[in-house]
Amino acid sequence: MRVAGTVRAPGDKSITHRALMLAALGRGVSHVGGALTSLDARSSARVLRQLGAEISPLRDGTVLTVTGRGRFRAPQRTLDCGNSGTTTRLLLGLLAGHRLRATLTGDASLRRRPMRRVTQPLAQMGARFEERGGDGLPLTVRGGRLRPLRHAMPVSSAQIKSALLLAGVVGEVAVDLLEPKGRSRDHTERMLQAFGYQVGERDGWIEFRPGGRIEPFDIQVPGDPSSAAFLVGTSILAEGGELRIAGVGLNPTRIGYLAVLQRMGARVSTDAADSSFGEPVADLIARPASLRGTEVTAGEIPGLIDEIPLLAVLASRGSGETIFRDVGELRVKESDRLSLIATNLRAVGGKAEVRGDDLHIEGVGLPPRGRVRTAADHRIAMAFAVLGTLPGARIAIDDMACAAVSFPGFPETLRRIRAGRSR
Ligand code: S3P
């Protein structure tokens, strides 16, 4: 199989959620170009409309218009966040500072995901929560006046961090946060700085100070480096050719996977560097490579948290062993990714094992063959679809439609780059 041509990754999921939320908070009309139109992005748009924002239909290739009212109004119905943890957790932070009552729910996967990591510190700030399903959804929030917060986070997580920073914005109070291991993605900090808020770092603590103001804005959302990773991975496994992925966001807190791939022997270069709304952007050029095993340290994990399924399938084709240290957080993603990566790799003839919170993968040479169970997790489906591009591979994936959670048209894009007829 060869790869060729130029493709665009879909808009960045994290930045799209944040842009929609901040635009809904501004008073007036904002424009969001290059927005992701996936199921997760639609979940954010749907609940923000229920909270009073007007958002034009999410269609590829159009610039979204978002009309915000300055504050949210009380929703008439339960807010259904679909499969999206980012929608839920960031919204909990925003709602904590609003004097209203709202109930949030989601699909079966999202209802199982832990929310106390966000609601406990928000409760310390003064918001009230009624749990209906233990540490998960459905959950009712009653927001109001907030107090400042100084909080050591239990895990390095951009969703927790952003929820608390956004509570600081709406409640106009100071928020100091400590991330335990490695720095999670910092899109929220960058956006808030663009609106005049002070967000700095002192002795390892992230310090947010009120004083800015969310005004209507225009943004061009870069391509999602996490979605681009699947195209990079396909190119690495190819037997020839070269693929250009245009306009990918290269925020340093998002591209830990490129450093790991380089250590493993891959050659991915960048070209046409630019920047958009405080975020670096460039084209990625990926080529085939033989990979060798590596150790991915605990401190590197937050910077490549979403790329572990893909890195794991690539490691299964490298020489020697790859170890991902301290990846217990994968158990509470859209699925129990830690166990699914290992069982699915074994199901297609690979060698993978979970030891404590570490994931060990041994490279193998035979073509991967077998059945993959995704538990409707988009990144598991896409990672194994990449593995399925190997010559001689025969992999049956139980649900490919779930890729639309973050990457609309993924199967078509994969076919296009393999045929070398990309656009
Ligand atoms: C995200 C943060 C990460 C990531 C998710 C998107 C965000 O989650 O896995 O896909 O946009 O803030 P955690 O913060 O829970 O690690």
Distance 241 CA to ligand 1 centre (A): 33
| 175 DSSP β-pair partners | 149, 208
What atom of ligand 1 comes closest to residue 13's alpha carbon?
11
Nearest CA to ligand 1 atom 10: 306
Does the domain at 2-7+221-418 match CATH 3.65.10.10? Answer given as yes
Mutating to test ligand 1, I would choose from 14, 83, 332, 382 the residue with most ligand atoms within 8 A of its C-beta, which is 14
Cα(187) to centroid(ligand 1), Å: 11
Between the CA of 159 and the centroid of ligand 1 the distance, in Å, is 5
Q: 260 in helix, strand or coil? A: helix
Question: 91: CA distance to ligand 1 center in Å?
Answer: 14
Torsion (CA) 230, 236, 237, 240 in degrees, nearest 10? 130
CA distances from 140 to 79, 132, 235 (A): 10, 8, 45
Looking from the CA of residue 305, the nearest atom of ligand 1 is: 9
Which atom of ligand 1 is closest in space to residue 188's alpha carbon? 12
Active site residue: 271, 306, 326, 336, which one?
Answer: 306
Residues of the chain with CATH 3.65.10.10: 2-7+221-418, 13-219
Look at ligand 1, atom 16, and give the residue with the nearest C-alpha: 157
Q: How long is the chain?
A: 423
pLDDT number for residue 420? 57
What number does the ligand 1 atom closest to the CA of 90 have?
12
Residues with CB under 6 A from ligand 1: 14, 86, 157-159, 162, 184-185, 305-306
Q: Can you give the pLDDT at residue 277?
A: 86
Mean pLDDT by 10 residues, the chain (423 residues): 96 98 98 98 98 98 97 98 98 98 98 98 98 94 98 98 99 98 96 97 97 97 98 98 98 98 97 92 98 98 98 98 98 98 98 98 97 98 98 98 98 89 46
From 17, 81, 159, mutation site for ligand 1 pocket: most ligand atoms within 8 A of C-beta: 159
Does the annotation mark 306 as catalytic?
A: yes
Task: Using DSSP, state whether 22 is helix, strand or coil.
Answer: helix
Residue 43 C-alpha to ligand 1 middle, in angstroms?
Answer: 15
Calculate the alpha carbon distances from 106 to 41, 47, 297 in Å. 14, 11, 33
Strand-pairing partners, residue 69, are: 27
What is the CATH code for 13-219? Answer: 3.65.10.10
Per-residue pLDDT at 42:
98
For a pocket test of ligand 1, which of 184, 226, 307, 308 has the largest count of ligand atoms closer than 8 A to its C-beta? 184
User: Closest ligand 1 atom to the C-alpha of 17?
Assistant: 11
How far is 81 from 164, CA to CA, in rounded Å? 19
Tell me, what DSSP letter sits at residue 204?
Answer: T
Distance 341 CA to ligand 1 centre (A): 18
Give the per-residue pLDDT at 1: 86
CA diameter of the chain: 61
- Locus of tokens 């009624």: 130
CA–CA separation, 242 and 311 (whole Å): 19
Which tokens in the block code for residue 48? 């923000």
